[in-house]
Structure formats: C-alpha cells, structure tokens
Homo-oligomer: A and B are copies of this chain.
Amino acid sequence: MQDLASLAPILGVIGLAAAGFVYYQVKSMSAGSEDMQEIADNIHLGAMVFLKREYKIVSIFVAVAFIVLSVALSPWTGVAFLTGAVFSMLAGFFGMKAATRANVRTTQAAIDGGTASALTVAFNGGAVMGLSVASLGLLGIGIYFYFTHDTLIINGFAMGASSIALFARVGGGIYTKSADVGADLVGKVEAGIPEDDPRNPATIADNVGDCVGDTAGMGADLFESYVGSVIATMAIGATMASPLPLMTLPLLLVMAGLMASLLGVFSMRLFKNMNPERALHMPTYVAGALFVIAAFGVVRTTMPDLSAFWAVLAGLLAGVAIGFESEYYTAAKPVRDIAEASLTGAATTIIAGLAVGLESTVLPVLTICGAIYVSFSLNGLYGIAIAAVGMLSTIGVTMAVDAYGPIADNAGGISEMSSAGPEIRAITDRLDALGNTTAAMGKGFAIGSAALTALALFSAYTRTVGLETINMTEANVVIGMFIGGVMPFLLASMTMKAVGRAAFKMVNEVRRQFREIPGLMEGKAKPDYANCVAIATDGALSEMILPGLIAVIMPVVIGLGFGAETLGGFLGGATVTGVMLAIMMSNGGGAWDNAKKYIEAGAHGGKGSDAHKAAVVGDTVGDPFKDTSGPSMNILIKLMSIVSLVLVAPLLAG
C-alpha cells in the first residue's frame, strides 16, 4: 500500500480538476440582472486588486526568504519554499475567484429556485476553495516526497505556505474590519442608511472584506495547518528507526481524506432539499465517516498496530468537539448573559463579553490536552503530529463549509444592493445566519488545528535539532517561555491598533464622499467605490508587514542568540499564550456579535433600544478580536514553529 503514496501528486491533480469542474458548474449558472452583475463585478474586481497587490508585496518577502534559504540551507529548500508560497497564493486565488462568482449566483439561485438552489451554489462556491486547499497541499507535498525523502527540503514547502498565511490572515483581517467599521460607522450610524445600501461608498469594500478575510485568510490559515501537520509528522518520522512507513503514513491519510472530501462535497446534491441547517453539516459527516474507515484500513495495512489510528481518531474528534464548544460560547447561554448585561450599559456588556471569552478557553484547552494525552501515550511525539493530521485530513470539506459563509453573506449584500425584494432577502438572510454558526465552529476548528499543528511542528523541531530535553528548571528555558509568551500579546496589540488606524482612514474617506459628491444621498450620483477599496487595501497591506517580520525574525534571533533549548521554551510559551488568546478573542468576539443579533431579533427592546446601543459597542470591540487579532494568533504560533524547524534547526544542528 505504501506504493500508493507515489500517486499523491496524481490525486492532487484529480482534486484540482474536481475543483475546476465545480467552479465551471458554478460559473455556468445565471448571474442575474445587469444591476446584480455590476455589483458582483465590483466586488470581484476589488478582491482581485487586493490579492494582486498583496501578492506583489509578499513577493518581495518571498524573494528575500528564497535567497536566504537557498544560501543558508540548500537551493532545493529554497525552491520548495517558493512552491509552498506559490501554492498558497494559488489556493487563495482560486478560492476568491470562486467566491466572487458564486455570491451573485447564489442570489440569483434564490430568485430562480429558492433555498435549496441557493444553498447548493453557495456551498459549491466554498467547495472550490476547500478542494483547492486540499489538492494543492497534497500535490506539493506529494511531488517533493516523490523526488526526495529529505525533510530539510520538504519542510521548505511548509514554510512557504506559512509565510503567505501570516500576511493573508493579518492583512485580510485588517482589511475586512477597516471596511466594516467604515461602512457601519459613517453609513449606518451617521448617515442613517441601511446596511449594504448602494449609496454607501464603503459597501463594496465591505463585501470584498468578507471574502478577503474569511475566504482567503481562513484558507491560507488552514492550508498552513494542513501542510504543516503532514510535514511535521514526516519530519518526526524521519528521525525514528525505520522511518519510511512513518513518513508515508501522513501522506496516505491525507490522500484518504481528500477522496473522502470529494465524495462528501458531491454528496451535497443528495441532501440539498433537507432544511439547510441540517443539510450543510451532512457533507462533513459523510466525509468524516468515510475517512475514519479509510484511515483504519491504511493504518491496519501499513503499521504494526492500530495505535496511530487511535491518534487520528483523537485528533478528528477533538476538532469536532472544539467546534461545538465554540458554538456553545457564541450561541447559547453565554450570549444571552451578554445581552442581559447590555441592559445596564456598554461597560457591563464589555465586562460580560470579556468574562465569556476568558472562560471559554477552559474546555477547548482540556480537549486539546485530551487529544495530546491519547495520541502521545500510544505513539509519543509522532502521535501528536498524526493526531493533527487526523484533524485536518478532511479539510477539503471542512474548508468548503467555512468558505460557504462569506458567499452567503455576500449574496445577502447583493440582494439588498440590487433591491431583490423581501422574500429573496429572507432566503439569503437564513443562509447568512447559518454561515455565522459555521463560522464560529470553523474558527474553533482553526484554533484547535493550529494548536495541534504548532505542537507537532514544535515536536518536529526538537527531534530535528536533537534536543533530548527542554528543561524548565533551567533559567534560559524560563526566559524563553516568558519572551515567547509575550509575543502573542504584542501581536494582538499591534493588530488591534492597526485596525484602528486603517478604519480611521476609511471613516474619513466615506465622510469625504458624502460631503463632496453632489447628489449621492439622493441616489442621483454614484459613490467612488474603488477609492474605498484602494484605501482598505493600502491600509491592510502597510499594516501587515511589521507583525509579519517580527514573527519570522524572532525565532531566528532567539535560536541563534540563545540556543536550541531557549528557542524550545520560546515556542512552548508562545503556543500556550497564543492558543489562549486566540480562543478568548475569537469566542468573546463571536459572543458579542451574536448578543447584538439576539437583541436585534427582539430581545430587551430590540433595535434602537439602549440595550442595543450597548450591544453595538460590544460588537465593535469584538470585530477586531474575532476577525483580526484572534485569528492572527493561529498563524503566529505555527509560523514561529516552522521558522524554527526549517531555518533555525539546520543552522543549529550544522
């Protein structure tokens, strides 16, 4: 069965072809009226402009890193790095392309065929991203594994993926929130026009932001986790006795996962007539069940015992559990508690939300610890890595569900902007609300997988550099832990401030347009959407550079300056505080958001009440929490681990 691994690149190509097939299926649908097409084209254009300019800036970084890696390590590591970076960009490009085609077609499908049709289009749009992420990952790793079993080279691929991820997540997070705040604050609050009103100059940027943040950002994040977990497992396997089967296993597992995901994605046509809340979960269940069976078979035939299978299962279940835990904290009693706290003003709303965020760290951390315990006790460090692979194998379908969210959100925006009428808006609203639930679960899943992947990469680092122990009774390790632990706090502060600055510029631009464009408020003149898009783009891109560089440079400074063990402590400290802050910010932000929606649905006086005003403050604080700073933590902890593994470990060992 091990020979099957050499088919990985072919399976990757097949997956890509399937993604292409789904894409053309989506694209062949009607894009609706001319009005709708114009709006959608604006969003599409804005997204492509952002991507192009982001990739241009990132290219400079990639080129420098390519040279450094080629000189310091080997040209092939440099080439692998380049491939990883390009593949991550490609996944983002495909996903965005599909999302910005699917959004308007979802609206039109709602008009033509109702809920089931709209659900299918939105899901298929997301599936392009999901399948692209999984297939490109498999293709890249498969090729390098086919030609070389040298982990020093293969690791480069993961570092390439990781570097793009940071810029995409941080940049996308800043973009989406600055556009969101600009559109809401000036449009909704100051000018008093509804959300997604075409007179609002920032409305296109706002819709672009949903794609840029939730599609491209999340995609790059999960692509990084996916590639990182597989490569960490290979790197750990390579250091053990009889490495080949141990290195092949993760590849076989993600191959099984991709096939299961393909079947899951195509199974959607069986479920589309169920109510959408159930239907959207079905492909995940199908793929999960198929994958478990396949994983059992793979482990049984290639391994001496079933222990690796239990690790895979532990990872998979932990991912599901963390998703549900996130959903609890962003949907159930905690949200109602925050809504109640809104009755006594903004201050108590903030305190209640922070308390929810802080508390919500407990269960996911225990879940991660459970997965670590099960997988490690059966398989050692290798087990932790293979558990991460298990969690991420069915990324094709998990990511599809995630990427569905912003498409449904966009579809709602387009139906509003094109005045599609209340019945259509009701359909897109329902699909959008469903997207909020899957987004919460997806964020939890992203954090959980980032935590396990970071630990896997950390383990791979310790094995590669030959560390028998990272001893916390030594001062250098304690110092490393403290400095590492403070990194997520620093990055959280930087990204929150960045959103503030970028949003400030956007607010000023929207105000300027309302003031200076005659006839805009009366609907006689069109706003300058492109300028808002340009401002959001510039703001996000200029603010993403410093956090990105810090994350890449710090492990090098610590590792080369203070040695391998201190760097180990550094990574450990960063992972612990990074995971906590990520969960706290993600869930706290989501809970505030939903508390506001709960009040808007009629509780505590509904829209316009004092409680609602207080809840809006909570939601505004929660926005950078859940969409910028929180998700940035995921990347930070993975990227710092991977830089340590790829760049620092060989230098220290050599």
Which A positions have Cβ atoms within 8 angstroms of B? 185, 341, 344-348, 350-352, 354-356, 358-359, 361-362, 365-366, 368-369, 372-373, 376-377, 381, 384, 455, 459, 462, 467-473, 475, 477-479, 481-483, 485-486, 489-490, 492-494, 496-497, 499-500, 504, 507, 568-569, 572-573, 576-577, 579-580, 584, 616-617, 620-621, 624
Contact = CB atoms under 8 A, between A and B. Distances in A.
A369 B617 contact: no
Contacts of A500: 341, 348, 351-352, 355
A203 B624 CA distance: 38
Contacts of A494: 359
Contact of A384 (B185, B365, B368, B475): B475
Contacts of A576: 481-482, 485, 573, 576-577
B617 A345 contact: yes
Nearest to A624: B351
Contacts of A355: 492-493, 496-497, 500
Contacts of A478: 372, 455, 572
A344 B472 CA distance: 46
B373 A580 contact: no
For this chain, the copies found in one complex come to: 2
A490 B359 contact: yes
21 contacts: A344-B507, A346-B347, A348-B620, A351-B499, A351-B621, A352-B497, A354-B621, A359-B494, A365-B483, A365-B485, A366-B483, A372-B475, A373-B475, A455-B478, A469-B473, A470-B471, A472-B472, A478-B572, A481-B572, A482-B579, A576-B577
A36 to B, nearest CB: 33
Given A472-B470, A473-B469, A617-B345, A489 B580 contact: yes
Contacts of A493: 354-356, 358-359
B376 A475 contact: yes
Nearest to A499: B351
A502 to B, nearest CB: 12
A483 B568 CA distance: 19
Query: Which 7 pairs across A and B sit closest by C-beta, in order of nearness?
Result: A376-B475, A347-B620, A358-B493, A359-B493, A470-B472, A485-B576, A365-B486
A369 B467 contact: no
A588 to B, nearest CB: 10
B467 A361 contact: no
A487 to B, nearest CB: 9
B372 A485 contact: no
Given A351-B496, A354-B621, 6 more contacts: A352-B500, A355-B497, A373-B479, A377-B475, A467-B473, A469-B473
A430 to B, nearest CB: 28
A130 to B, nearest CB: 29
Nearest to A568: B472
Contact of A381 (B470, B473, B504, B569): B473
A543 to B, nearest CB: 13
A363 to B, nearest CB: 9
A482 B452 CA distance: 12
Contact of A479 (B185, B372, B504): B372
A627 to B, nearest CB: 13
Given A358-B493, A485-B580, A617-B345, A369 B473 contact: no
A475 B361 CA distance: 20
Given A373-B479, A576-B577, A580-B577, A569 B361 contact: no
B475 A617 contact: no
A507 B345 CA distance: 13
Contacts of A356: 493
Nearest to A472: B470
A478 B616 CA distance: 39
A536 to B, nearest CB: 18
A421 to B, nearest CB: 33
B580 A492 contact: no
Contacts of A459: 473
